[in-house]
Structure 1
Amino acid sequence: MRITRTAKLAAGLAATLAIFTATLPSTAASTDPVAVAAQPVAGSSSNVRIEGSRTILGDAPATIGSTELEQRSGLAELTPVRFPEATSAVVVGYTSGTPDGSSAEVDVRAWVKDRWSEWTSAGAGTPTALPGASDQVQLRIILTAPPTGANPWVGDVTVQPTDKADPSRMTVQAAPLQSRVFATREGLVGGTTANGHVIISRDHFVALPSRRGLAGNGSGTYSVKVCTASRCAFEPVWDVGPWNTKDDYWNPSATREMWKDLPQGRPEAQAAYQNGYNGGKDQFGRTVANPAGIDLADGVFWDALAMPDNGFVDVTYLWTGDGGRGTVAITSGYLNVRNSPNSSGAVVGMAGKAAQVTVECQTTGSSVTGSQGTSNVWLRVHSGMYVAKAYISAGTFGVC
């Protein structure tokens, strides 16, 4: 089940987006503006068009399943903006129009500890704390509307450092959160995900019920490890759902978008279904029919995890903490995860295109030729599970 879908990438995205204004902080109070030209990141925008300084929702129809919320939506990730000095907070400025039940949102994230932090909604003119001091931020525009009619927009976007936000409201965990949640199969081949990816047969991605952890189309910036008792999959987060769209349950309770009285790791849909939380309904007032906290594309559900039916799985949200990482460097399909460092080892899982994988250590095994050259190095990504480093963009790790 999936809540929202974006339509296919609209033509003409080569047009220039809004100009960002970055304040260069030689001191915390400096107000010297510098204009920074910004373009949409290639492949990371969907169903938007540009008119002057405005980014406007396109007219492509919603792609939905029979039980899903019917919405049109568009997304535009903008080129990162770099400041000459690190800042712990920013002020994002923009104008917006939201006619006829539509919505417009601008999100921000920061480059912290050599990786992108999670997306956070930024109110216009309001200081937004970053999860750590950073000299590089990126903005994202999210537009949603009913199936016909309204075309919300965002324009005149600016961003500048500030020292007026309390960074303690956001936290960085020492280790990624792992929780046991109910998984359902997404399916919907031919549909379009919330980041503009068109779903193919036996696809490899997952959906989570908040855009805070939504990766760009073709990116594995936000990836999960999903495990059953005997198999694991490493997959990028390319869609939003099930049930809710503002349930970032992997975050500490105090920083969740909604449902701040629920414990970290417990999806709202699970609490609603099992305990009657929120009257047994989701954020849209619909009666929750199952406790799902993650959707799995067909290739993840059937092939990587060999699941015969919907059920509980162990999910690790890899961007929520530190640890060794590598990125699956393949152009399509998936990479087999094997039970030994050998290309003849039994397949015990899969890793999707662009997904991040956890790396515990490295060892030697059979020689493999892949996108990263020829190598006999294998990476242990889970207890008793290995992938060939010849297909993983990663550094060097300790010996197993």
Structure 2
Amino acid sequence: MKLSRYLLVGMVLTSSFLAVPTASAATGWQVDLAEPAAGSTNVETGPVRLGSDDNRAASADSAARTGMAVYPHTLATAANAFTATVTSTVPDGAEVAVDVRGRAAGRWTEWAEIRPGAPGVLTGAAKDVEVRVVLSAPDGVASPTVDALTITPAAGQRAPAPQPGLTYRVFATREGLVGHTTANGHKIVARDHFVALPSRRGLSAKGAGDYSVRVCAANGRCEWAPTWDVGPWNTRDDYWAAPEVRQQWGDLPQGKPASQAAYEDGYNGGKDQFGRKVKNPAGIDLADGTFWDGLKLKNNAWVTVTYQWTGTHPHGFVDTPGPVLNVRPGPNSQSPNVGLAAKHAQVRIECVVAGEQVTGSQGTTNQWYRLAEGMFVSAAHVAYGPGASPVPTC
């Protein structure tokens, strides 16, 4: 099916999608599709199409191969809403979507889909923006292609009201799947440290942690880990979002995964978005290292999750030579381990205190960041977020 010069605002393009033709906006910019940036995975250019890697939403048990092409752009004037015009070919069963995000108040906003009838709206106005083209196709279906893409800032849009950092109690399962490739192209290894959330809105690029979580178990242990896969169960359920901007199932309470509602209440006939019977209420999947080593879990369990890219706390990114950084109950390395912070994870910083002098990727310092009550990491191993607000003293 050939789609030519259509306004595309965030809903995936499939063979059944009918869009309304529109003229290309003169104030928009034409994306150079031949030059995807860092964070792109499993795509070929000229036109943009799926590559040959086996990237999938491993945690969601999805059969669709996935590729993502990311394109940065700097605006002359900050904007918080965007529409898109696309020229593409989408075979039956394949999908194309366009997302946008911006760097506001020192950190990236969540990815916003550009949807039919409404632009993608960011939580803050930004000059530095990125556009992400997401391609997917099941086995046996040819790759969709995108030949041209124009992005246009939309005037008169109101950003969602700012919120404090979001925290919800959800059911966690162990992902496992060692040797599989995640939705962002990461090859899962033994005792790995990452999580999966059921929406690509919270998906970090391979080797990055713009979208990370703090997940805490009932035993008091916590791990900070990047989101590197999509799932469990669903792939369009950003349940942490306000109902009016949730990708699907906006009639559910904020913070309640659709899988939980299906399992507990028979919501959606007790099924996920693919029509499968939901057999547990999981709203997050944990890689083996996060599950066993970070949280010391033995079985699937209810956990408390804080979505690190939400709210306005100062923030940084774990930069350590190994896969994890020990989290201590005080500002010294002799105190026992009470959790872990995975390499690349974004961490929200409550305050800073003087303690043991440590040498790491950020030099030698006696400064320690408190990430939560009774949980500290050395500032020597945390790259402070660019443009982040100053860290207060504890």
1:223 and 2:215 correspond: no
User: Is the 1:56–1:152 contact (alpha carbons within 8 Å) kept by the matching residues of 2?
Assistant: yes
Query: In the aligned structure 1, how far is the partner of 2:80 from the partner of 2:174?
Result: 39
2:327 alignment counterpart:
337
How far did residue 238 of structure 1 move?
0.7
Counterpart CA distance in 1 for 2:97 and 2:322 is 32
Work out the CA distance in 2 between the residues paired with 1:345 and 1:159: 52
Say if 1:269 and 1:293, in contact at 8 Å, map to a contact too: yes
Partner of 1:5: none
Residues 105 and 32 of structure 1, relative CA distance in 2, 3 Å threshold: closer
What residue identity is the alignment partner of 2:393?
V
Aligned to 2:5: none
CA distance in 1, matches of 2:110, 2:339: 26
Q: What is the match of residue 247 of structure 2?
A: 257
More deviation, 383-392/62-71: 62-71
> CA 1:163/1:356 → structure 2, altered by over 3 Å: closer, same or farther?
same
User: Is the 8 Å Cα contact of residues 93 and 125 (structure 1) preserved in structure 2?
Assistant: no
Q: 1: CA distance between counterparts of 2:87 and 2:165?
A: 36
Shift of the alpha carbon at 1:397?
Answer: 2.3
The Cα of 1:64 is off from its aligned counterpart by 7.7
Contact persistence 2:59–2:285 (CA under 8 A): no
Query: In the TM superposition, what whole-angstrom CA distance separates every residue of 1:16-39 from its partner, at most 9, and x where no partner exists?
Result: xxxxxx98xxxxxxx456667562
Q: Label 1:67 to 1:366 Cα distance change in 2 as closer, same or farther (>3 A).
A: closer
1:378–1:386: 8 Å Cα contact kept in structure 2? yes
- The answer as to 2:340 corresponding to 1:347 is no
Which segment is superposed worse, 226-235 or 258-267?
226-235
The one-letter code of the counterpart of 1:399 is T
Query: Does the Cα contact within 8 Å between 1:202 and 1:299 map onto a contact in 2?
Result: yes
Q: Which residue of 1 aligns with 2:199?
A: 210
User: Which of 378, 381, 386 is matched with 2:371 structurally?
Assistant: 381
Please say if 1:148 is aligned against 2:140: yes
Within a 5 Å distance, the mapping from 1:166-205 to structure 2 comes to 166-168=157-159, 170-173=160-163, 175-205=164-194
Structure 1 residue 129 and structure 2 residue 121: aligned?
A: yes
Distance (whole Å) between structure 1 residues aligned to residue 325 and residue 84 of structure 2: 40
Q: What RMSD over aligned residues (CA atoms) do the two structures have, in Å?
A: 2.2
Q: Which amino acid aligns with 1:89?
A: A
Q: 1:161 aligns with which of 148, 153, 159?
A: 153
SS of alignment partner, residue 41 of structure 1: coil
Work out whether residues 170 and 304 of structure 2, in 8 Å CA contact, stay in contact via their aligned partners in 1: yes
Letter in 2 for 1:370: G
How much has 1:129 moved relative to structure 2?
Answer: 2.6
**1:40 paired residue number:** 36
Q: CA deviation at 1:203?
A: 0.9
Contact kept in structure 2, 1:62 and 1:70, CA below 8 Å? no
**Deviation string for 1:20-75 (max 9, x for gaps)?**
xx98xxxxxxx456667562222x22221112xx2101244466879823221111
The match for 1:275 among 244, 250, 265 is 265
Number of equivalenced pairs: 365
TM-score by length of 1: 0.86
Q: Do structure 1's residue 115 and structure 2's residue 104 form an aligned pair?
A: no
- Given the two structures, how large is their TM-score scaled by the length of structure 2? 0.87
SS in 2 for 1:167: coil
Q: Name the CA shift for 1:154/1:181 in 2 (closer, same or farther; >3 Å).
A: same
Post-superposition Cα deviations, 1:271-302, rounded to whole Å, max 9, x if no partner, equal 11011111110011100000000000111000
Match of 2:82 in 1: 90
The farther-off stretch of 241-250 and 132-141 is 132-141
Instruction: Read off the aligned partner of 1:49 and give its amino acid letter.
Output: E
CA distance in 1, matches of 2:102, 2:128: 6
Structure 2 unmatched ranges of 5 or more: 1-23
- Alpha-carbon spacing, 1:276–1:97, altered in 2? closer, same or farther (3 Å): same
Q: Which residue of 2 aligns with 1:397?
A: 391
Q: 1:327 to 1:97 in 2, by over 3 A?
A: same
SS of equivalent to 2:369: strand
Q: How far has the Cα of 1:329 moved from its partner?
A: 1.2
Corresponding residue for 2:130? 138
Determine the structure 2 residue equivalent to 1:57.
50
Output aligned runs, 1:4-83, within 5 Å: 31=26, 37=32, 39-42=35-38, 44-51=39-46, 54-61=47-54, 68-78=61-71, 80-83=72-75
What are structure 1's unaligned runs of at least 5 residues? 1-21, 24-30
d(CA) in 1 for partners of 2:94 and 2:67?
11
Matched-pair contact (CA < 8 Å) for 1:62–1:147: no
Q: Deviations over 1:300-325 (max 9, x none)?
A: 00001101110000000111211121
The residue type equivalent to 1:320 in the other structure is T
Inter-partner Cα distance in structure 2 for 1:100 and 1:34: 29
Question: CA, structure 1 residues 127+274, in 2 after alignment: closer, same or farther (shift >3 Å)?
Answer: closer
